[in-house]
Structure 1
Amino acid sequence: MSEFSTLIYSVKDRVCTITLNRPDRLNAINDAMPGDIANAVKKAERDPAVHVIVVQGAGKGFCGGYDLKDYAERDGELPGSQDMPWDPMIDYAFMHQNTLDFMSLWRCHKPTIARVHGAAAAGGSDIALCCDFVIMAEDARIGYPPARVWGVPTPSMWVYRLGPQQAKRMMMTGELIDGKEAERIGLALECVPEAELDAAVERLAGRLQGVPKNQLMMTKMVVNQAYETMGLSNTQMLATVFDGVSRHSPEGMWFRQRAQEVGFKQAVAERDSGDPIAAAVEKTPYDRME
């Protein structure tokens, strides 16, 4: 029996490959996956034979995000959506642990590469952007659509990788961009046709795996401390609190109710249509400020 229920762990030629393995659900994040990722990273950290970690997805894509079809359509309380009144600290504790698990890819001492094909959407983009390097297929897509309703990206790596203007673009619109655009704005290190994706990842991993582990560790620590000094941990704390608020705001409650009424796919289509979401929600005191 595998020690991981949601991924495949393998090591070859100094490279550890972590393959997200729920292809029937587009590798959607369930309750077990964040912990599996953190434990796999910890295992690779302890292995002296590993110099580089590659994260990829099985099947048609990298990761389609949290398994919101299950979370949004299911009745009753669940980790991401409490009955009202809700306790924000219960929500924070749950989501903060997921953020810590994803950030194990950023904070581990070995370089990490996200190999992105298909889609790295919503929580899938969180996983990819917690890696040190992102290499994408030209037609792959990355973004955080729940930023329109029902989510705030808790690792909040967008601002640290893109700067304020492009980060606001991605987080305010919930836009999905392809690999070419991701490379143009500096989100991806490289984009290539999907048929060449393995070769591109192997080129970078090959350059890294020949460097002594202590050199890789020192360089990564130097770069990462600069971002910690900029306030990365505080940004993530605020984003995680706001993520809970977004799922329990009037619009967030409407979205979950709509998913239960018409199904998750139809609710998402309405969310992403460009039509004003507030029109479907009863006016609140906040609206009178506009």
Structure 2
Amino acid sequence: MPATHEFTTLTYAVRDRKAYLTLNRPERLNAINEVMPAEIRDAVQRANEDDQVRVIVVQGAGRAFCSGYDLKQFAEEDAENRWNQGPLWDPIKDFQGMKANTDNFFSLWRSLKPTLCKVHGHAIAGGSDIALSCDLLVMATDARIGYPPARVWGCPTTAMWVYRLGAQLAKRMLLTGDTIDGTTAAEYGLALEAVPPERLDEAVEALADRMAGVPINQLVMQKLMINQAYDNMGLAGTQTLATLFDGITRHSPEGRWFRDFAERDGFHAAVAYRDSGLPIPDGGGPPPG
């Protein structure tokens, strides 16, 4: 099946019992815009309704899997107050928008058919939310994954770091905002496997083909059984809290400090300071410099 034309942020194709969902904004390193989350959900639904599909492979076009939300314009300008509502913040409006995105990403986890994520380049911030919503990750050894906005202006709404890593390693990642390479991600158990970049396609195809030989009924029952254990651990409640916290981080004094920094010096300069390890002031204050 050729790539379809109804999608604007991704392509969808089916070959050999596998559906390929490819994030397709390479000029922006597949950054998440307003349209992408719902298109991911629609593509997952399409694959689940197709009796020819047994496995969904999620990947990114170009140099990266996904660089996160396309926040440059929102942090620097945000004339419509999509991410910052001004002095009067409506937390429920914020929650509704971010929860919708989280649910759209999590269609990959809720998909009856298994989802396999192929990570090259970067899976950063919201990009890591998409990757960690998949059942399995295979990463290039030199790929990077992490949630730098944990330092300021973000909280991972899917909450999958703790469910993937346990408390200690999740705290190691989210209390620093560090990124790690594919080799380290595999050592932590975040990725199933890390392989040299030139072997990434081969490794993903081999695993996808192995699963695609299993009857759909068997795949669905095994996945539902495993997912139910996470639901019993309180996954839905954790995501609700994380999504509320994400909105708070963007409207806290420190969050407003970050936005002021971005408006004055540009989003990239603000991100570079955030990720540098230099202290971020409690309670905000004027941007450095």
TM over 0.5: yes
Aligned equivalent of 1:128? 131
Q: CA deviation at 1:76?
A: 2.9
Alignment partner of 1:221 is 2:224: yes
Query: Does the CA-based 8 Å contact 2:255-2:284 persist in structure 1?
Result: no
CA–CA distance in structure 1, aligned partners of residues 82 and 174 of structure 2? 23
Deviation digits for residues 19-59 of structure 1, max 9, x if unmatched? 00000000000000000000000000000000000000000
Helix, strand or coil at the partner of 1:275: coil
Alignment partner of 1:249 is 2:252: yes
Unpaired runs of 5+ residues, structure 1, are 284-290
CA–CA distance in structure 2, aligned partners of residues 190 and 112 of structure 1? 15
Aligned equivalent of 2:156? 153
CA–CA distance in structure 2, aligned partners of residues 52 and 198 of structure 1? 15
Sequence identity (%): 60
Helix, strand or coil at the partner of 1:27: coil
Alignment partner of 1:33 is 2:36: yes
Deviation digits for residues 209-228 of structure 1, max 9, x if unmatched? 00000000000000000000
Pick from 108, 113, 126 the counterpart of residue 111 of structure 2: 108
Helix, strand or coil at the partner of 1:170: helix
Alignment of 1:17-166 (within 5 A): 17-166=20-169
Structure 1 window deviating more from structure 2 (73-82 vs 39-48): it is 73-82
Q: CA deviation at 1:109?
A: 0.4
Could you tell me which amino acid in structure 1 is paired with residue 257 of structure 2? W
| TM-score, normalisation: structure 1 | 0.96
CA–CA distance in structure 1, aligned partners of residues 199 and 28 of structure 2? 25
Could you tell me which amino acid in structure 1 is paired with residue 229 of structure 2? A
Query: Does the CA-based 8 Å contact 1:77-1:83 persist in structure 2?
Result: no
- Equivalent residue pairs, number: 283
CA–CA distance in structure 2, aligned partners of residues 108 and 5 of structure 1? 21
CA–CA distance in structure 2, aligned partners of residues 6 and 273 of structure 1? 31
Aligned equivalent of 2:205? 202
Aligned equivalent of 2:194? 191
Deviation digits for residues 167-211 of structure 1, max 9, x if unmatched? 011111111000000000000000001100000001110110000
| TM-score, normalisation: structure 2 | 0.96
Q: CA deviation at 1:280?
A: 8.0
Pick from 8, 12, 18 the counterpart of residue 11 of structure 2: 8
CA–CA distance in structure 1, aligned partners of residues 209 and 47 of structure 2? 17
Q: CA deviation at 1:70?
A: 1.7
Unpaired runs of 5+ residues, structure 2, are none
Query: Does the CA-based 8 Å contact 2:257-2:285 persist in structure 1?
Result: no
Q: CA deviation at 1:75?
A: 4.0
Query: Does the CA-based 8 Å contact 2:254-2:282 persist in structure 1?
Result: no
Q: Which runs of 4+ in 1 moved over 3 A?
A: none
